[in-house]
């Protein structure tokens, strides 16, 4: 097993909970010498003890193994504070409304940090009735593609899964959307304020000079074959 609880984690959690080795040992039904061996890396707790150890420290087994305790203050469930996790092995996408300790395929996933869109990841947005039409100038090959597009409001998250050799575009209900995210499997998570993608609240971004200039820049960077 590549991931397992370490003596350092046990010691740190024990001290954080103001417990002695003897007190922890009593709760677990082992000797204090056994706890000492764990903390000095001279042994590991049996797998059957992971849940009792986690319970003693008031953490989940996942937090115990990862060594990262979750302090989730996001009780208001504001979607704008959402976090995305993507498994590098299977591409699984997990959305959390706050902090979480998440594993997939034996890998402890770190939350993605969204970056503003750049010249290699251009997002163009139009208002079509009650929807945002989002198009991203990006290749969609099996090796390099946009995995998903998501739109966050204060109380809702819309997610559209995209696939290689498909189109890098999505339609999302406007309904209070304040941030749009999309994920490139090579370069990570990007975000854009939808208002910045539109010239004003009445006319589409597609009709502006800025849009046409960005389109030309994207064509120069990626070539005509990106639309195929």
The CATH number covering residue 39 comes to 1.10.260.40
- For residue 213, the model assigns a pLDDT of 67
Identify whether 155 is part of a domain: yes
More confident residue, 214 or 171: 171
Which helix (H) or strand (E) segment holds residue 173: the answer is strand 169-173
Residues 124, 32 share a domain: no
Same domain, 155 and 95: no
Could you tell me the pLDDT band of residue 104, with boundaries at 50, 70 and 90? confident
Note whether residue 73 is domain-resident: no
Q: Is the pLDDT score of 206 beyond 60?
A: no
Is residue 131 predicted with pLDDT exceeding 90?
Answer: yes
How confident is the model at residue 117, as a pLDDT?
92
High-pLDDT (> 70) share of the chain, % = 79
What Å distances lie between residue 9 and 2, 43, 65, 171, 222, CA to CA? 15, 13, 8, 45, 48
In this structure, the answer to whether residues 173 and 193 fall within a common structural domain is: yes
Looking at the structure, do residues 197 and 120 belong to the same domain, yes or no? yes
Digit-coded pLDDT (tens) for 47-85 = 889 899 999 998 888 788 877 665 544 444 577 788 999
Q: Indicate whether 20 belongs to any domain.
A: yes
Q: Within this chain, do residues 123 and 222 fall inside the same structural domain, yes or no? A: yes
Mean pLDDT of 191-214: 60
Residue 202 domain flag: yes
| 1: number of Cβ within 10 Å | 7
| Domains held by the chain: number | 3
Q: H-type helices in the chain, by residue range?
A: 7-16, 21-28, 32-39, 50-57, 61-66, 209-222
Domain identity same for 127 and 96: no
Q: Which residue has the higher pLDDT, 18 or 212?
A: 18
Q: What is residue 15's predicted lDDT score, i.e. its pLDDT?
A: 93
Q: Which of 116-120, 151-155, 176-180, 212-216 has the lowest mean pLDDT?
A: 212-216
Structural domain contains residue 72: no
Question: Looking at the DSSP assignment, which residues form a beta bridge with residue 107?
Answer: 104
Do 144 and 61 lie in one domain? The reply is no
Q: How confident is the model at residue 42 (pLDDT cuts 50, 70, 90)?
A: confident
Per-residue pLDDT, 205: 39
Query: Domain of 143?
Result: 115-227
44 shares a domain with 21: yes
140 assigned to some structural domain: yes
Give the whole-number percent of the chain exceeding pLDDT 90.
49
pLDDT of residue 200: 37
What CATH number does residue 161 fall under? Answer: 2.60.40.730
| Torsional class of 91: left (φ above 0), alpha (ψ -120 to 50), beta (otherwise) | left
Q: Are residues 32 and 127 in the same domain?
A: no
Determine how β-strand 146-152 pairs with β-strand 157-161: antiparallel
Q: What is the pLDDT of residues 172-201, one digit of tens each?
A: 999 899 999 999 998 999 999 998 766 434
Is residue 150 located within the same domain as residue 216? yes
- Shared domain check, 105 and 12: no
């Amino acid at each position: 097993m590549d991931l397992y609880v370490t003596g350092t984690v046990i010691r740190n959690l024990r001290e954080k909970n103001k417990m002695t080795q003897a007190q922890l040992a009593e709760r677990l039904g082992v000797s204090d010498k056994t706890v000492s061996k764990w903390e000095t890396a001279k042994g590991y707790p049996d797998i059957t003890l992971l849940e009792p150890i986690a319970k003693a420290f008031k953490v989940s087994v996942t937090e115990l193994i990862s060594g990262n305790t979750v302090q989730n203050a996001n009780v208001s469930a504001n979607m704008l504070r959402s976090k995305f996790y993507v498994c590098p092995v299977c591409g699984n996408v997990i959305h959390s409304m706050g902090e979480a300790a998440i594993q997939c395929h034996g890998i402890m996933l770190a939350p993605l940090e969204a970056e503003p869109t750049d010249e290699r990841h251009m997002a163009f947005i139009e208002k079509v009735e009650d929807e945002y039409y989002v198009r991203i100038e990006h290749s969609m090959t099996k090796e390099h593609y946009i995995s998903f597009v998501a739109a966050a409001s204060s109380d809702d998250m819309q997610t559209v899964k995209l696939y290689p050799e498909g189109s890098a575009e999505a339609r999302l209900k406007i309904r209070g959307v304040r941030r749009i995210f999309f994920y490139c499997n090579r370069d990570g998570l990007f975000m854009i304020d939808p208002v910045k993608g539109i010239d004003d609240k009445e006319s589409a971004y597609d009709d502006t000079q800025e849009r046409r200039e960005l389109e030309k820049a994207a064509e120069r960077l990626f070539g005509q074959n990106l639309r195929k």
